[in-house]
């Protein structure tokens, strides 16, 4: 078995993640923030420590500006629906994930104006195009750091400068990049960051977070929590109504600590090398087309591709059945991205190696792709 679907969810997880989840379940178990006994205090410490680790990872000076969510989709919905109001204008890309696309479609039906900026043929946005799309009522620019289809890593610092010059909030979907490459919310000028826990952060499924810069106000999607009705709540409790997923967040915190100990730069170097091998292998084959840049240093650790005469679903099934290799096929919850790349409605196959994959895994994958292409 060779698992190459890390852009969907990372596997395997580091042992420290398994151990931490088990430890929280078996020895802590209290309800964080709901009682004053020892186990409740220890549970609150689990949440706090994970929050501190995430803050260190993304360069946030105040961990209290980070709220945990059940995934990036919930974080994105909160960031968009909790901030944008009728009459506001938002600039986004034409290749976003459905969590952005569908949220903005809902908001557009209620009076929010949406402008989609198209990328170049490799999937890169031009900051000047974003600047040209900004209007007097533009409240936010919202883009993914790297599309889960194109893989192209956007120039966030340049886009952040445009946003600051136009007094627009800058929101980033970091689902494919947080943990996989260095990230600094201050250096990039990011006001709002949504990320998932179960991909490059090595956390369990059902975890994620939303970062809000100081001064960014948001209306929560879910009400509850402690205190009387009408009593004001501050971040992060504002966005964490109800009982927290303490074991999951503990596992997420352990995954982030693994990243910090290993160093994100080391992880990026390893994954970039694996992607470079994929791209070079594809370049030597006939009938293979890729989506996104041909330079591994300019893309996240994923490559969407098609084989002439083969449907993506067929490619994925044959790789699994004939070689025990697992990838993802279809439109990847991002049909707009496939419209941009000209691969809609069938989509593409997508290979996404992770930190625990090896050069031998990539060799086996390329060998299997050659066999599918010939057969």
Mean pLDDT of 230-242: 88
CA 76 to CA 79: how far, in whole Å? 5
| Whether pLDDT at 81 is above 80 | yes
For the chain, the average pLDDT equals 96
Mean pLDDT of 340-345: 96
Mean pLDDT of 84-103: 98
Rama region for 60: left / alpha / beta (φ>0; ψ in -120 to 50; rest): beta
pLDDT confidence of residue 230: 66
Residue from 68, 87, 38, 121 nearest 235 by CA = 68
SS3 of residue 299 by DSSP: strand
- Measured CA to CA in angstroms, residue 142 lies from 95, 99, 139, 257, 270 at distances of 11, 12, 10, 28, 29
pLDDT tens for each residue of 285-307: 999 999 999 999 999 999 999 99
Residue from 164, 121, 126, 165 nearest 143 by CA = 126
Domains 15-262 and 264-374 share a fold: no
Mean pLDDT of 247-264: 98
pLDDT confidence of residue 35: 78
Mean pLDDT of 119-124: 97
| Whether pLDDT at 337 is above 70 | yes
- Measured CA to CA in angstroms, residue 331 lies from 2, 126, 336, 340, 371 at distances of 22, 24, 9, 12, 24
Position with higher pLDDT, 77 vs 229: 77
pLDDT confidence of residue 36: 83
pLDDT confidence of residue 33: 79
Count CB-CB contacts under 10 A for residue 102.
15
Quick one: CATH architecture of 264-374?
Alpha-Beta Complex (3.90)
| Whether pLDDT at 179 is above 80 | yes
Q: CB-side exposure of 188: number of CA atoms within 13 Å?
A: 22
Mean pLDDT of 56-84: 98
| Whether pLDDT at 372 is above 80 | yes
pLDDT confidence of residue 227: 65
Mean pLDDT of 269-295: 98
pLDDT confidence of residue 253: 98
pLDDT-derived band at 228 (thresholds 50, 70, 90) equals low
Mean pLDDT of 331-337: 96
Residue from 142, 238, 252 nearest 197 by CA = 252
pLDDT confidence of residue 232: 76
pLDDT confidence of residue 91: 98
Count CB-CB contacts under 10 A for residue 205.
15
Lowest average pLDDT, out of 8-12, 225-229, 248-252, goes to: 225-229
The class (CATH top level) of 15-262 is alpha beta
| Whether pLDDT at 261 is above 70 | yes
Lowest average pLDDT, out of 79-83, 153-157, 232-236, 257-261, goes to: 232-236
Asked if residue 151 lies in contact with residue 177, where contact means CB atoms within 8 angstroms, the answer is no
Mean pLDDT of 203-207: 98
Domain ranges for the chain: 15-262, 264-374
């Amino acid at each position: 078995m060779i698992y190459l679907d890390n852009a969907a969810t990372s596997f395997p997880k580091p042992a420290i993640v398994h151990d931490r989840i088990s430890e929280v379940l078996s020895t802590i178990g209290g309800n964080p923030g709901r009682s004053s006994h020892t186990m409740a205090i220890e549970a609150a410490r689990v949440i706090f420590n994970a929050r501190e680790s995430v803050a260190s990872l993304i360069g946030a000076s105040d961990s209290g500006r980070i709220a945990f969510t059940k995934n990036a989709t919930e974080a994105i919905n909160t960031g968009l629906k909790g901030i944008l109001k009728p009459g506001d204008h938002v600039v986004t890309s034409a290749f976003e994930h459905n969590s952005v696309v569908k949220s903005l479609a809902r908001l557009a039906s209620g009076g929010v104006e949406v402008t989609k900026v198209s990328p170049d043929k490799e999937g890169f946005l031009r900051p000047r195009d974003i600047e040209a799309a900004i209007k007097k009522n533009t409240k936010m620019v919202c883009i993914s750091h790297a599309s889960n289809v194109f893989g192209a890593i956007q120039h966030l610092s340049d886009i952040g400068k445009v946003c600051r010059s136009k007094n627009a909030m800058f929101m980033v979907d970091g689902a494919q990049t947080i943990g996989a490459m260095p990230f600094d919310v201050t250096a990039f000028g990011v006001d709002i960051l949504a990320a998932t826990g179960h991909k490059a952060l090595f956390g369990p499924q059902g975890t994620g977070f939303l970062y809000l810069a100081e001064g960014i106000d948001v209306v929560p999607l879910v009400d509850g929590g402690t205190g009387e009705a009408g009593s004001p709540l501050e971040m992060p409790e504002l966005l964490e109504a109800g009982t927290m997923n303490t074991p999951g967040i503990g596992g997420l915190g352990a995954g982030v600590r693994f990243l910090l100990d290993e160093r994100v730069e080391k992880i990026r170097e390893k994954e970039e090398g694996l992607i470079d091998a994929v791209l070079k292998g594809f370049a030597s084959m006939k009938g293979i087309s890729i989506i996104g840049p041909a330079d591994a240093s300019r893309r996240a650790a994923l490559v969407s591709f098609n084989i002439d005469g083969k449907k993506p679903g067929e490619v994925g099934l044959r790789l699994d059945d004939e070689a025990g290799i697992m990838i993802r096929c279809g439109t990847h919850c991002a049909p707009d991205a496939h419209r941009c790349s000209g691969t809609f409605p069938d989509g593409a196959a997508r290979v996404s190696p992770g930190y625990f994959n090896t050069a031998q895994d990539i060799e086996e994958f390329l060998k299997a792709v050659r066999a599918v292409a010939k057969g």
